[in-house]
Chains A and B, each alone.
Chain A
């Protein structure tokens, strides 16, 4: 919609003269200039815009240049109508560029139609493409033209089937890429895909599978943000795939999964924020431990690190524990956080990480922190006291506090040893906080604890 004044003489606009006999003194909305009517149509959901073709003859094809098309066919019962609708709309739509194209549908045996629709969008220089397909009853391939689309800046592809890649892949302008449930099965072409992303900034891989692929290098020079959510069911072979990520521009790394594949970030000096939410089952501890260690070694420059307790537990596996002293110094680490799982403060890996984080300023525990209530033993745990406790650590936050013995011990040892602490914030769990009597007792108990830092404030949230 070009904002410059469209007309200086509105009266001479395209007005239907006969209709005006009636309307002359009443300016009806339909008398608006066509460009403005088209603009209004472009603001409507696709369904509504297309319905206007039934208003009157003049409006039959007014919608055909709307820049955004969204087709979300959800109910199987209405599928036939939906598929006919999409086919008809794409047939009638003019050749002007499509900006945003959304297609959610059950494919069944209409693979060729669906592929043709995506092709139609690509031909019209689509910029943002959101595709969610499911229910395949025959083999499905995306059109080859999609993979060399020069205008594409955003692509979301949710497709629980094998991604068949063409020989030529180059996403010249793609900035955001999101694959969900996709299976990568050709090592050579998959590598080509992940090397042909020159301006990619955001990559999300959710529940994707790597089949018959040993190694893949994701090397997108402008990649800022990567988010990997692994499938919880292992459908790969024993070892999975080794995913190497070149992090020359990478700022944020986010991972949820069970390390069915191995991940390694190299050239990660710009990485600022890393989250590793790993979980695992006992029989896989060895593999998870090694993979956790390997990943962590690539994060030596991060400022912020978020982990699950399982991540720490994994590192305590026999062989890997011996490697812990070889972890790099986390020389920029200022924030260390844990998710809602229970953290044991005497965890060897946690203590090692604390020792190696000279600049740590803040710790946040979203779950419960525990420590056995043996005071003598506890004094030996933080011996030597991590350097950050002595000079940098100024804020500790604990959520979900319920005041039992183990939690009290944990808070006690922290308060005692963090000698430059400005404040310790303790939030009781929602449920616990309802009992006001008990809450008061707990607060009093905490206030009595000796504080290593003279100016430390105990805050109850």
Chain B
């Protein structure tokens, strides 16, 4: 764990990026990560748990915290969790997940869907 960055973060009072709550999730991660590293199945379960208990917004904070603390393994893990969560999901589902709203003109979206038609086949139902 990069102790100097952590110390710096705690000292930096202007930093609203990482709340104390998040720090308690992110910082113990290296130990958990090391323990689970060898066992993919457990990592998958941990990921499932994380997705169930943690709302996308919280995930945002986790990612930003990991990024700020320069904790590459955690950043990678959380990003993969997001990727796995939206894999093969419908456009609406992914929009909700990211908190986005479509701002395309009517017809623009259809045009794009047509151009990339092949990638829309076999997507999970909502």
Contact of B86 among A23, A48, A60, A81 (CB under 8 A): A48
Q: Residue-by-residue, is A391-433 near B (CB-CB < 8 Å gives 1, otherwise 0)?
A: 0000000000000000000000000000000000000000000
**A27-B57, A45-B87 known; A50 vs B116 contact (CB < 8 Å):** yes
Asked whether any CB of chain B lies closer than 8 Å to the CB of A36, the reply is yes
Is the contact region of chain A dominated by helix, strand, or loop, or is it mixed? helix
**A4 and B67 alpha carbons, distance in the complex (Å):** 8
In the complex, residue of chain A having the shortest beta-carbon distance to the beta carbon of B95? A55
Name the A residues within 8 Å of B117 (CB-CB).
Answer: 81, 84-85
**CB of B101 closer than 8 Å to a CB of A:** yes
Query: Can you list, as one digit per residue, whether each of B71-113 has a CB less than 8 Å from chain A (1) or not (0)?
Result: 0100110011011001110010011011111111000010011
**B contact face: mostly helix, strand, loop, or mixed:** helix
Interface check A7, CB cutoff 8 A? yes
Query: Contact partner of B98 among A28, A44, A47, CB < 8 A?
Result: A28
Which of A10, A43, A51 has the most chain B CB within a 10 Å cutoff?
Answer: A51
Residues on the B chain within 8 Å of A52, using CB: 94
Smallest distance from the beta carbon of B41 to chain A beta carbons, Å? 20
Q: Does A26 contact B (CB under 8 A)?
A: yes
* Chain B residue contacts of A82, Cβ below 8 A: 118
* B72 close to A36 (CB less than 8 A): no
Knowing A55-B100, A56-B102, say if A27 contacts B119 (CB, 8 Å): no
Contact call A40/B118, Cβ cutoff below 8 A: no
Residues of A within 8 A of B80 (CB): 43
Among B67, B82, B83, B119, which residue has its beta carbon within 8 angstroms of that of A85?
A: B119
Partner among A46, A56, A85, A88 whose Cβ is within 8 Å of the Cβ of B95: A56
B118 lies within 8 A of A78 (CB): yes
Q: Which of A51, A53, A54 has the most CB of B within 10 A?
A: A54
Closest CB of chain B to A11's CB: distance in Å? 7
A8 to B95, alpha carbons, bound, how many Å? 28
* C-alpha gap A36/B118 in the complex (Å): 26
Q: From B27-35, B42-50, B58-66, give the one contacting chain A.
A: B58-66
A6 interface hit (Cβ, 8 Å)? yes
Residues in A with CB closer than 8 Å to B113 are 54
Does A295 sit at the interface, judged by CB under 8 A?
no
Q: Which of B80, B98, B102, B123 has the most CB of A within 10 A?
A: B98
Given contacts A27-B60, A45-B87, A57-B104, contact A3 B115 (CB under 8 A): no
B93 to chain A, nearest CB (A): 11
Interface residues of A in 25-45 (CB under 8 A from B): 26-33, 36, 39-40, 43-45
From residue 51 to 86 of chain A, which have CB atoms closer than 8 A to chain B?
Answer: 51-57, 59-60, 73, 78, 81-82, 84-85
Q: In the complex, what distance in Å separates the CA atom of A56 from the CA atom of B112?
A: 11
The complex places the Cα of A273 from the Cα of B118 at a distance, in Å, of 46
Chain B residues within an 8 Å CB radius of A26: 57, 99
User: Shortest distance in angstroms between A129's beta carbon and chain B's nearest beta carbon?
Assistant: 21
- Which residues of chain B are near A60, meaning CB under 8 Å? 112
Task: Assess A48 versus B99: contact at CB under 8 Å? Given A54-B109, A57-B104.
Answer: no
With the chains together, A52 CA to B70 CA distance in Å? 27
Q: A265-290: which residues lie under 8 A (CB-CB) from chain B?
A: none
B24 adjacent to chain A (CB < 8 Å)? no
A28 and B87: CB pair below 8 A?
no
A384 at the interface (CB under 8 A from B): no
Nearest Cβ on chain A to B61's Cβ, whole angstroms? 6
A312 to chain B, nearest CB (A): 42
Contact yes or no, B98 A51, CB < 8 A: no
- The answer to whether A88 touches B115, judged by C-beta atoms less than 8 angstroms apart, is yes
Name 20 extra pairs, CB < 8 A, besides A29-B60, A32-B63.
Answer: A3-B70, A4-B70, A27-B57, A27-B61, A28-B98, A29-B56, A30-B98, A39-B79, A40-B82, A40-B83, A50-B119, A53-B112, A54-B112, A55-B95, A56-B104, A57-B103, A84-B115, A84-B118, A85-B116, A88-B116
